Chain A
Amino acid sequence: MLVESPPEQRAETAAAPPSRRAVRAVGLLASLVLLALVALASIAIGAKELSLEQVWHGLFEDSGTYGDVVVADRLSRTVLGVLAGAALGLAGSVLQALTRNPLADPGLLGINAGASAAVVTAITFFGVTSLSGYVWFAFFGAAAVGALVWFLGGSRGATPVRLALAGTAISAALFGYLQAIMILDDAALGRMRFWTVGSLASGSDSTIVQVLPFIVAGSLLALALARPLNAMAMGDDTAKALGANLNRTRALSMLAATVLCGAATAACGPIIFVGLMVPHVVRSFTGPDQRWILPYAAVLSPVLLLGADVIGRIVARPAELQVGIVTAILGGPVFILLVRRRRTAQL
């Protein structure tokens, strides 16, 4: 009921002239170039400043010098940023389309908190220490909270306010649980206070290998859902009339969002607002067609995440500000702006 755009705009999109499609394709290419530039910056900028030659040397002529080691280290961090960013952006877009709700975000809906609580449980009570162990816990937590929020938010009659409130309420309850654990267990506190802010610093080759299959599978699933999600944007009845299988689309969308969020959270900790901001920016120039929104979100979200990571490394040099903190500080104002912009009647 909320992102319903005027019908004429949608008709225009459906019959987009070839030139317009070309513009969008070029835009997508430009976004990819932008992503490459940000990734390069993410490798070059940090406590140890590297020149472009050094980066080149480290990437393609690795001979084990000090610079090469730094490059290798930052490379895995950057790759993790790209993967996690794409996952969060796609999950946010899918959730916004599925709930027809511009305020849907994996963080705001408590899905990240669910994954966090499950991971913390795994660390504290089951002695799980490896990522491959707790990635499953993260999925389980994300899925459980996702389903709970969906149910509590009123399932089909869900409104933005209900979903946001249900998500916040569950996050608050889980937060209390996390705190109780942190008080009782100093060792858990030592590990968790870093994990719960959300950071890319844990990026290593093994982390990447472990989350890669999940993120690839989730991304493919999300991209494949573009058409049915387009149909659902027109309302349940119209979508049904157009031949979309509503329940299957809903289930698959939740599955994709859960897998993507769970993998990203397991690897980086809870990162809020990336999935909220990027789809809004993307929609402002692609229009409501999911076939464009999803690829753009997949490319531009890593740009935001890596950009935030680089900013975090610049402002607090030689230490660093964790990326989850930077995205929250950047994203909070955007969220408030969105809330203020919408008409009071809808809020």
Chain B
Amino acid sequence: MKTNRAVRSPGGLSVRLDVRALTVVVVLLLTALTASVVLIGTGDFPIPAGDVLRTLVGEGNAGQEFIVTELRLPRVLVGLLVGASLGLGGALFQSISRNPLGSPDVLGLGQGATAGALTVIVLFSGTAGQVALGALAGGLVTGFAIYALAWKRGVHGYRLVLVGIGVSAIVTAVNGYLLTKSDIVDAARAVVWMTGSLDGRDWDQVWPLLALCAVLVPLVLANGRGLRMLEMGDDVSYALGVRVERVRLLLMLSAVLLTASATAAAGPVSFVALTAPQLARRLTRAPGPNLAASLCMGAALLVTADWVSQRAFGAEQLPVGVVTGVLGGVYLLWLLVTERRAGRI
């Protein structure tokens, strides 16, 4: 099947459309939205999908309205935004490091954000808002440290990954120390946070995340062309007129911000940033970073995983991070095997 089509306007302008990639984006978007509606309807007080939709447009009864708009909608929105940020951030990191494993999980960004959050939980017994701020700060500092340490006349992909592994080992040790310092109540709270959970998220988490995404997503998508050229190598893209280090710094900064704020909102939900871009690429079969598809994939994955975590374990709810962790771990091993066979890593 021919997947590319050129659209010409009468005035002589033409646009090349990748039909398959476009279809994938639309389908993933619909999947994410459908899963969201199902997720809103799920819980101790089930609501049929039709009622959910009616309530969302403002025509439901008072009881359903409270449950939907006050309790479940913010949680689902946080899930969508976190998934989208992680998917996009992961796609950026993987493209910049030119390595499917160069995702924020492996690089230690999640660990850095965890260190920030644990500091607030253990040393100051802070509120949820302060924990989120601590996580944001931890993630940003770690991202900056990795970039600075990997810098040596430019940032090279493998050096970035290996430096990230080193930094993540140090930060993991700090986290372990903080965990041993805490009393058992704080420790239990910290472990749940460290796994990543959407429990009890409300509108306070939605707005900052939405604002950040509203700024960063267009910025990143606008720079997608530069990123695509960067994948051909620094020299080639330099010759093609891309300002290599500037684009890379801008995109890495965006990726760190996206990942850190997503982590601040929901905790380090593991493996979404790693798997979403890979799955998106396999679906679109298109070269390049596949930014839009990864974004939609991340959102769909996270909301679906949250639904599984609420339904699969009966009364005892596990945080969503456990589901993504188990699924992601299996996927990662499979990825390693196939990539090895193909000789790509």
Residues on A facing B (Cβ under 8 Å) = 103, 107-108, 152-154, 161-162, 164-166, 168-170, 172-174, 176-177, 179-180, 182-184, 186, 189-190, 193-194, 196-197, 272-273, 321-322, 324-325, 328-329, 331-333, 335-336, 339-340, 344, 347
B33 within 8 A of A: no
Complex contacts, A176 vs chain B, CB 8 Å:
270-271, 321-322, 325-326, 328-329
Which one of B316, B329, B336, B345 contacts A161 once the chains associate, using CB atoms below 8 Å?
B345
Q: Does B176 contact A (CB under 8 A)?
A: yes
CA distance A193 to B194 in the complex (A): 13
Do the beta carbons of A169 and B106 come within 8 Å of each other? Answer: yes
A-B contact pairs, 23 of them (CB 8 A): A107-B169, A162-B340, A165-B106, A165-B336, A170-B333, A172-B106, A172-B271, A179-B191, A179-B195, A180-B195, A182-B191, A184-B316, A186-B184, A197-B177, A273-B169, A322-B180, A325-B177, A332-B166, A339-B159, A340-B159, A340-B163, A347-B156, A347-B159
Q: B169, A180: Cβ atoms under 8 Å?
A: no
Q: A189-B191, A197-B179 are in contact. List 7 more A-B contacts (CB 8 A).
A: A176-B321, A176-B322, A183-B195, A186-B184, A328-B170, A328-B173, A339-B159
How many B residues are at the interface, by size bracket?
35 or more
Judge if B253 is at the interface, Cβ distance under 8 Å. Answer: no
B67 to chain A, nearest CB (A): 27
Whether A169 lies near B336 (C-beta < 8 A) is yes
Contact for A324 among B166, B176, B345, CB less than 8 A: B176
* B21 at interface by CB-CB < 8 Å: no
In chain B, positions 175-203 with a C-beta closer than 8 Å to chain A are 176-177, 179-180, 184, 187-188, 191-192, 194-195
Q: Does B255 contact A (CB under 8 A)?
A: no
List B residues at the A interface (Cβ < 8 Å). 99, 101, 105-106, 149-150, 152, 156, 158-159, 161-163, 165-167, 169-170, 172-174, 176-177, 179-180, 184, 187-188, 191-192, 194-195, 270-271, 316, 318-319, 321-322, 325-326, 328-330, 332-333, 336-337, 340, 345
Bound-complex Cα distance A153 to B322 (A): 26
Contact assessment for A169 and B333 in the assembled complex, using a CB-CB cutoff below 8 Å: yes
**Is the beta-carbon distance between B336 and A183 smaller than 8 angstroms?**
no
Q: How far is the CB of A24 from chain B (nearest CB, A)?
A: 31
The chain B residue sitting closest to A169, CB to CB, is B332
Asked whether, in the complex, the Cβ of A183 is within 8 Å of the Cβ of B173, the reply is: no
Is the CB–CB distance between B325 and A180 below 8 Å? yes
Q: Is the interface of B mostly helix, strand, loop or mixed?
A: helix
The 5 closest A-B pairs by CB, nearest first: A176-B325, A173-B329, A328-B173, A332-B170, A197-B176
Interface of A is mostly: helix
Distance in angstroms from A315 CB to nearest chain B CB is: 11
List residues of chain A with CB within 8 A of the CB of B271.
172, 176
Q: With A340-B152, A344-B159 in contact, do A162 and B322 touch (Cβ < 8 Å)?
A: no
B316 neighbours in A (Cβ, 8 Å): 184
Which A residues are CB-close (under 8 A) to B169? 107-108, 272-273, 328, 331-332, 335
CB-nearest residue of chain B relative to A341? B152
Tell me, in angstroms, the Cα distance from A174 to B271 when the chains sit together: 13
Residues A152 and B192 in contact, CB atoms below 8 Å apart: no
Contact A325/B174 with A168-B106, A183-B322, A340-B152 known, Cβ cut-off 8 Å: yes
Contacts of A165 in B (CB 8 A): 99, 101, 106, 161, 336, 345
With a cutoff of 8 Å between Cβ atoms, the chain A residues found around residue B194 in the complex are 179
Q: Is the CB of A336 within 8 A of B174?
A: no
Asked if A329 meets B188 with Cβ closer than 8 Å, knowing A164-B165, A169-B332, A180-B326, the reply is no
Known: A169-B106, A179-B325. A347 touches B170 (CB 8 A): no
Structural contact, A329 and B325, CB atoms closer than 8 A: no
Which residues from B are CB-within-8-Å of A152? 333, 336-337, 340
- Cα–Cα distance between A194 and B345 once the two chains are bound (Å): 36
CB distance from A176 to the nearest CB of B (A): 3
Cα(A194)–Cα(B180), bound, Å: 6
Q: Looking at the complex, which one of A172, A182, A321, A331 makes contact with B329 (CB distance below 8 Å)?
A: A172
B318 cross-chain contacts in A, Cβ below 8 A: 180, 183-184
Distance between Cα atoms of A2 and B120 in the complex (Å): 43
Please give the distance in Å from B279's CB to the nearest CB on chain A.
17
Please, how many angstroms separate the alpha-carbon atoms of A347 and B150 in the complex?
A: 12
Which of A166, A172, A196, A322 has the most CB atoms of chain B within a 10 A radius of its CB?
Answer: A172
Cross-chain contact B176 with A347 (CB below 8 angstroms): no
Nearest B residue to A158 via CB reads: B340
- Find A193's partner among B99, B149, B180, B322 (CB 8 Å cutoff): B180
Task: For B149, list chain A residues within 8 Å (CB).
Answer: 336, 340
Known: A161-B158, A169-B333, A177-B329. A189 touches B187 (CB 8 A): yes
CA distance A162 to B165 in the complex (A): 13
* Cβ 8 A contact of B173, one of A272, A333, A347: A272
- Nearest CB of chain A from residue B175's CB, rounded to whole Å: 9
A180-B322 contact given A152-B336, A322-B180, CB 8 Å threshold: yes
**Which A residues touch B192, using CB under 8 A?**
183
Which residues of chain B come closer than 8 Å to A324, judged between CB atoms?
173, 176
Bound together, the chains give a CA A142 to CA B333 distance in angstroms of: 17
Q: Which residues of A contact B345 (CB under 8 A)?
A: 161-162, 165
A314 to chain B, nearest CB (A): 15
